[in-house]
Amino acid sequence: MRSALLPLLLFFSACGIQSLPKAKNEVEASWAEVQNQYKRRADLIPNLVNTVKGYADQEKETLTAVVEARAKATQTNIPIENLNQETLNQFSKAQAGLSGALSKLMVVVERYPDLKSNENFKQLQFQLEGTENRITVARNRYIETIKEFNNQVTVPPNSWTNSLFYKFDKMPQYEVENLETVKDAPKVEF
């Protein structure tokens, strides 16, 4: 009995018995990182809004748009169990809304040279740029890990092991329409 079990075990170990849960762990970690970096951006915003307010209080409309978009973005938090194509779309739409509001604010800021030379504002600007870059990196890594995981789930022979033991579903991937930041990019007017 035991001698029959061993080759069977060897067969499955070659066919995803280990790599499937590993790929799932990778996805979980990369999704946590995506949310973490978006949270980091949201944490920067109160400070940014306060600094801008000190110099450009008349830009109330743009500032409230940022605050509202931030509130919406922080509300849509998606734990990995609830992550599917629909919730991912919701999440990225809320975040794209905040990206749009922020880039509008950054255009408005150009009209205030005093604010732009403020040391605190400069630092915030660097932090914001850095965080946007971290978000891009985290999202690219999520895309990579999802690709790997979905390959494991759908491509034989690992998919057979999956349907026998784990029964994992495919995980949602970022789509082009998720990346709405481009559409929301502000027009520069002179």
With CB under 8 A as the contact rule, the residue among 122, 154, 165, 185 that binds another protein is 122
Residue 17: φ, ψ to 5°? -60, -30
Residue type present at position 61: E
* Closest separation in Å from C-beta 55 to another protein: 19
Closer CB to another protein, residue 32 or residue 107? 32
CB 143 within 8 A of CB 173: yes
Tokens read off for 89: 């779309």
Query: Exposure string (b/e) for 167-184, b if CB count within 10 Å is 16 or more?
Result: ebeebbebeeebebbeeb
| Euclidean distance between CA atoms 153 and 161, whole angstroms | 9
Which of the ranges 16-24, 65-73, 118-126, 175-183 carries the binding residues for another protein, by CB under 8 A? 118-126
Residue type present at position 59: E
Residue type present at position 11: F
Residue 138 binds another protein, judged by CB under 8 A: yes
Which of the ranges 19-27, 79-87, 117-125, 175-183 carries the binding residues for another protein, by CB under 8 A? 117-125
Closer CB to another protein, residue 131 or residue 178? 131
Residue 87 binds another protein, judged by CB under 8 A: no
Which of the ranges 13-21, 88-96, 128-136, 166-174 carries the binding residues for another protein, by CB under 8 A? 128-136
Residue 127 binds another protein, judged by CB under 8 A: yes
Closer CB to another protein, residue 40 or residue 93? 40
Which of the ranges 45-53, 54-62, 122-130, 171-179 carries the binding residues for another protein, by CB under 8 A? 122-130
Tokens read off for 164: 């026998």
Residue type present at position 129: E
With CB under 8 A as the contact rule, the residue among 37, 51, 62, 158 that binds another protein is 37
Q: What CA–CA distances, in Å, run from 100 to 36, 65, 168, 181?
A: 20, 10, 35, 6
Residue 50 binds another protein, judged by CB under 8 A: no
Which residues sit at the interface with another protein, rule CB under 8 A? Answer: 33, 37, 122-127, 129-131, 133-138
